[in-house]
Amino acid sequence: MTRLARLTVLLAVVATALAAWFGYSWWDASRDDGVARATVREEALQAGRQSVAALTTLDYRQAEQGYQNWLNLSGGALHDELARDRDGGLGRIGQAKTVTTGRVVDAAVTEVDSGGGTAEVIASVELEVRPDGGEAVTKHNRFRAGLNRTPDGWRVTSLGQVPVTDTGKP
């Protein structure tokens, strides 16, 4: 066998071995629980960002539509509370006469249970509050949202403001 033939056979064997190894690695990674957890984490993060922004946004001139959006995004205890207090909530919104726009500046998943379909997201939100006929005021708040995965997607089951503490450090 010539030197060129031996080199060709050797390269073919090496290429076949590499293809088999990469193929096995790809197949093995596709079954990895870490990949599934990362996928669930990313889905929860995106849903949390969108939902927190929507749940901190409301225009008193379109209160019915905005409140219905809140109901559509919520689940569990939060949904029950919003549904139970719909008339009172709409009344308070009408009296306040403000347009509030929430924009999520940053967010992170702090807990995720991919098997149980739950997650917790913390979000830094810039809130622009504009009273009817007044100047807009910008506030910065942090929120913690509990989420549950449902057949219709992720729903926010709890939403609360996270207190900011001053540590005295620069």
- For residue 119, how many other CB atoms are within 10 A of its CB? 24
On the question of pLDDT at 34 being above 90, the answer is no
The answer to whether position 13 is within a domain reads: no
The answer to whether position 83 is within a domain reads: yes
Q: CATH code at 44?
A: 3.10.450.230
* Residue among 103, 111, 108, 169 nearest 140 (CA): 103
The answer to whether position 103 is within a domain reads: yes
**Mean pLDDT within 78-84:** 98
**Length of the chain as a residue count:** 170
- Name the residue type at position 129: V
Express each pLDDT in 84-118 by its tens digit: 999 999 999 999 999 999 999 999 999 999 889 99
d(CA 64, CA 143): 24
The answer to whether position 54 is within a domain reads: yes
Report residue 164: phi and psi, to 5°: -100, 125
Q: How many domains does the chain have?
A: 1
d(CA 154, CA 45): 10
- 3-state SS class at 50: helix
**Mean pLDDT within 120-132:** 97
On the question of pLDDT at 81 being above 70, the answer is yes
- Given this model, what pLDDT does residue 170 score? 62
Domain hosting residue 39, numbered range: 33-161
- pTM of the model as a whole: 0.78
- Given this model, what pLDDT does residue 26 score? 81
